[in-house]
Each structure stands twice: as structure tokens, then as C-alpha cells.
Amino acid sequence: MGGVDTNRRALLLAIMVCFGGFVFGLDAALVSGTKAYVMRDLGADAIGFGYAVSAPGLGVVFALMVTGFVCDRLGRRTTLLIIGWLYLISAVGAVFSQTLWQLVAFRFLGGLAFASLSVSSMYVGEIAPPAKRGLLVAVNQLNIVVGLFAAYLANYFIQGWVADGAPIAAATGMDRYTWQWMLAVQIPPSILWILFLLKIPESPRWLLLKGRREEAAAVMRQLAPAGEVERSVAEIEAMVKAERAGNSGRSEGTWQSLARMFSPTIIRATIIGLVIASVQPTTGINAIMFYAPYVIEQSGVGADASFLVPVVNGVFSIIATSLALVFIDRIGRRTILLGGLAVAAVSLLACSLSFATATYRLEAPRIAALPVEIERASLAPVVGVTFDNDVAFKQALNGAIGRDVAERHEAELLKAATSINLWAVLIGIAAFVAAFQFSIGPIMWVILAEIFPTGVRGVAIPACALLTALINYFVQQLFPWQLVSFGAASVFGTYALCVTIGFVVLWRMLPETKGRSIEEIAATLAMKKEPA
């Protein structure tokens, strides 16, 4: 029974720590529904709105530069508490922003908290027993997709109440402060996560790194059966001592740890970590998830459906991530990762081909259904003209009715004009999202939590997360510009190519890590070849 109890305690701690993933999902996706309202109230264009969406991506870049130092100096628990407060302050500040740049600034502050993903994975990886590590680390990803789903659902209801003139919208001020209500959804969960973090213990591995053996043993007694506590503590302690001896007994700083990531015994782990950290964001997942309604609008389904489809995709994400939790410690990391990347590449390619063969033509009968703000006479130059791609169509609209009007009513104009294989796009996006959430979404954090030895983990995991954050920032920031300049077919095609390259590289390099201790994995990766 002791083993069952300790596994339950480890699961409970993982859920409490990984609730930050739920807060992250809310922070990341709630802004996706605010596009039309922010553009209206704060005078932003699509590119300006892109700054608000991508600001957290820039914030986390700066955060991850110091996350390793803070984690190793203050501990995992204290670092998580700092992150929790950043989420809360950012959410409150964003709600009360009066200008676009105030919104961008508070979103940037929230981005400093996005380091929670790497720190949570690090913490859970250090408290979890090897047989359950994949499951417990992947709880973080499940919380993220549940947070994304909750954000899309909240936006769907708020947008629907406002559009329908529901009494609740007038009574609560949603009709006047729509985007503020959307962003405020994050505030209560942020407070709850802080309360959770006050209840968790410090990581036993970090305590041993600091020479606090008795405290580490006390924590391990909560996480491991009584007969295994001393063995687990001794094993970790021996690994720490061996690493320090290999470094001539000196305590390493951040830069020394970074340099040692490229030493002969760790270089293979470093390459795998950097590759998977690059592949995950270049799938384009954050562009598709953070701009969800905007992405769906491009297929011509209209504004209402563009809020509903992400909710449906959110359900697929939860199912896929739940399946990943079930199979991650049974099938193994490598098989799930490579299978998911293959499906993702095919799905993105299907979307690209669908947009490449789409046509755009405004006919007179459909113009009557457009919003009254669009002058019918000004549309005359584009009526009855067939455009072979979305870029040419949007440019023609900008010239006819003005860029501001065209961008504010892009969903309605695309709905009236687009002829496309809609099901191929919707199914392709849904399949891509599900494949990502089943594979590289949770698997990346599991692998990063497994492949690096204890002595460099506090720096190596944030370093890989920093690379992911840098690429994610550019993916998010450039997405509106790419869409306007090159079109949806080019954007989806680029993502498909990146996924394919990632599949090939990881297929050649990535070993299976299922069921091995962190110390065993480190020893295996120190070899030149994977043993048969």
C-alpha cells in the first residue's frame, strides 16, 4: 500500500504544480478572441494586434535567460511562486489597459511567467518515480490543453452573448468591455495556482544539490515507498558527487553549466534537446492556437463559426492529450513522437494544398449580407472578379474599401467570397492539433525532463525552453505578416516542411527513454551508440 500512497502523493503534487499549465493555456488563448474588439477599442491593425498576441513570447525569452540561475539559486518551489504572481499581476494589468501598448506591456509581463512550463516539467521530473515520470510530466500538457479549451469556450460564450444582445451582456458590461471580460477569465485560476504552490515541498534533487540531505530524505519519504527512500537518496547523491568530481569539485555557475552541455558525455543529449525544442514551435502550433479564430476565418466559415471551431478542436486536444497520458509509459516516447509528427506533416500539407487551390470571388447577391459599415459602391472594382489566392483578394479589398475596414470585417468578406475544400482544411487543422497534443506537445517536456543529468538540468532544460520560446516568438509575431504577405497556403506549407525535417532528424537520433531512471538515461546518452 505504501507504493500506491506515494504514487498518489506524487500525482497530487504533479497536478498542483502543473495547474500552471492550465493558467498558461488561458493566458495564451483568451487573447485570440479579442482581435475585433481590441482593433475597435484600441485602434490597432492586424499587425498591431500581433504584438499583443506575441508579447508573452518575447517575455518568456527574457525570463528563460535567468530561469536556470533562479531555479538553482532559489529552488524550484520559490521560482514557481514568483511565476504565479507574475501571471496574476499580468492578467489584472491587461484587463485595465487603456492603450494597445499598455496591453502589450502587461502581456509581456505575463510572458515572463511562461517559464512555468519548463520549471513545472523540471520539478515533476525530479519528484516522479521512473515508471510514472512520463505520465506525471505529461499532466502539464493536459492542463495546457484544458486551459486552451476553457479559453476558447469562454470566448465563444462571451462573443455569442455580445453578438446576440443577451441580457447578461448588458447587465455585466460585456457589451462595452468585451475583450476585458475575455482576459479577466484568467484571474481566478491564477489566484488558485498560487494557493496550490504554497502547499508543495521543495524538489529533493535540488535539496541534495545544496547538501540538504535530511530535508531531501523527508520529501522522498512522501514520494517513495519506505524501503526505497534511502536507496533513491543515495543514488541521486552519488550522481551529484560524481558530476562535481568530474568538475574538479568546483560548484558550477550558469555559464559553466551551459558550456558543459557540449562536453563529450552530454553532447548527444544536448543535440536531441535542441532539435526537439526547435521542432515543437516550428510546427506552427502557437500560431494556429493563439490566433485560432483568425486562422479559421481564412477558410471562409464566418465570424461565429470561427469561435466555435476552436472549441471543437479543444475537445480533440483534450482527448488526444488524455490518450498520450495513457500510452506514454506503455508505447514509449519515441514511437508516439515520430507517429505524431508524421500525421502532423500530412495534415498541414492537406491544409496548404486546399488553400493553394482555393478561389475568391464576390458576387452581387452576397454583398447584401455584408455589414452596413462596408460601402457597397466602393466594392464595385472587385465584384465579379475571380482571385486565385487570398493575398491578391485582400490587397484588392484594401484598395477598394480601405485597409482598416477590410481587416475589421475580414471574416464576413472571406465568407462571402471563398470557394475552398472546407472540410479538408477543418479536418486537417483538427488532425494536426490532435497529433501535436498526442505527441510532441507532451513528449517534448517529458524528454527534456529525462535526458539531462542532474548537474546541468537546472540550466539545460530552461536553455532548451529558451530556444523554443525564441522560435515561438517569431512564429507568433510574424504570422499576421506572413498571412498578409504570402498567404495561407505558403504558411501551412512552411510548417509542413519544418515538421518533416524534424521527423527525419529525430528518427535518426532519438533513443527510447521509457522506464529508465534519469541516471540510467544519462549514462546511455554518454555512449556513442545506443545499446541493442
Residue found under cell 527574457 = 62
Q: What is the pLDDT of residue 344?
A: 95
Closest CA to 480 of 397, 407, 387: 407
| Chain centroid to CA 316 | 16
pLDDT in tens, 214-262: 787 777 777 766 666 666 677 667 766 665 555 544 445 556 767 777 7
DSSP string across 330-350: TT-HHHHHHHHHHHHHHHHHH
CB-side exposure of 111: number of CA atoms within 13 Å? 29
The answer to whether residues 423 and 301 touch, using CB atoms and an 8 Å cutoff, is no
- Distance in angstroms between the alpha carbons of the first and the last residue of the chain: 36
Q: Phi/psi of residue 360, each to 5°?
A: -135, 120
CA distances from 418 to 85, 380, 394 (A): 45, 17, 11
The answer to whether residues 433 and 313 touch, using CB atoms and an 8 Å cutoff, is yes
Q: What is the pLDDT of residue 248?
A: 47
Q: Which ranges of 298-332 would DSSP assign to H, the alpha helix?
A: 303-327
Label residues 414-432 b or e (16+ Cβ within 10 Å = b).
Answer: bbbbbebbeebbbebbbbb
Three-state secondary-structure class, residue 126: helix
Helix, strand, coil % over all residues of the chain, rounded to 5? 80, 0, 20
Q: What span, in angstroms and rounded, lies between the C-alpha atoms of 236 and 227?
A: 16
CA distances from 227 to 221, 224, 230 (A): 9, 8, 7
The continuous run of DSSP H or E covering 390 comes out as helix 390-401
Per-residue pLDDT of the chain (532 residues; tens, 9 = 90+): 445 565 677 778 888 888 888 998 898 889 888 887 888 888 877 778 888 888 887 887 788 777 778 888 888 889 999 999 999 999 999 999 999 999 999 999 988 887 777 788 778 877 776 666 666 666 777 888 889 899 989 998 998 898 888 999 999 999 899 999 999 999 999 999 999 999 888 888 888 777 787 787 777 777 766 666 666 677 667 766 665 555 544 445 556 767 777 777 788 888 888 999 999 999 998 888 777 777 888 887 766 677 777 888 888 888 988 888 788 778 888 889 999 999 999 999 999 999 999 999 988 888 877 877 888 888 888 888 999 999 898 899 888 888 888 887 888 888 888 898 988 998 999 999 999 989 988 788 778 878 887 677 767 887 887 788 889 888 888 888 888 889 999 999 999 999 999 899 888 888 777 766 666 777 777 765 544 3
Q: What span, in angstroms and rounded, lies between the C-alpha atoms of 380 and 271?
A: 56
Cell matching residue 269:
543529449
Q: What span, in angstroms and rounded, lies between the C-alpha atoms of 412 and 467?
A: 38
Closest CA to 321 of 446, 494, 223: 446
Q: Is the full-model pTM beyond 0.75? A: no
Three-state secondary-structure class, residue 45: coil
Residue 210 per-residue DSSP state: T
Q: What is the pLDDT of residue 531?
A: 40
For the domain covering 2-200+247-355+424-524, report its CATH number: 1.20.1250.20
Closest CA to 439 of 303, 309, 531, 347: 347
The answer to whether residues 186 and 23 touch, using CB atoms and an 8 Å cutoff, is yes
Q: Which residues contact 202 (CB under 8 A, 6 or more apart)?
A: 75, 76, 77, 215, 219
Closest CA to 130 of 438, 439, 449: 449
- Starting at the edge strand found earlier in the chain, the sheet holding 418-419 runs 386-387, 359-361, 418-419
Cell matching residue 26:
488561458
Q: What span, in angstroms and rounded, lies between the C-alpha atoms of 82 and 336?
A: 34
Domain extents in the chain: 2-200+247-355+424-524, 359-419
pLDDT in tens, 333-377: 888 999 999 999 999 999 999 999 999 998 888 887 787 788 888
Closest CA to 491 of 504, 505, 481: 481
CA distances from 330 to 67, 163, 194, 327, 360 (A): 32, 47, 33, 5, 48
pLDDT in tens, 441-487: 878 877 887 888 767 776 788 788 778 888 988 888 888 888 888 99
Cell matching residue 452:
539531462
Q: Phi/psi of residue 335, each to 5°?
A: -65, -45
The answer to whether residues 31 and 90 touch, using CB atoms and an 8 Å cutoff, is no
The continuous run of DSSP H or E covering 7 comes out as helix 2-30
* Long-range Cβ contact pairs of 90-95 (< 8 A, separation 24 or more): 90/27, 91/27, 91/183, 91/184, 91/186, 91/187, 91/190, 92/187, 94/183, 95/180, 95/183, 95/184, 95/187
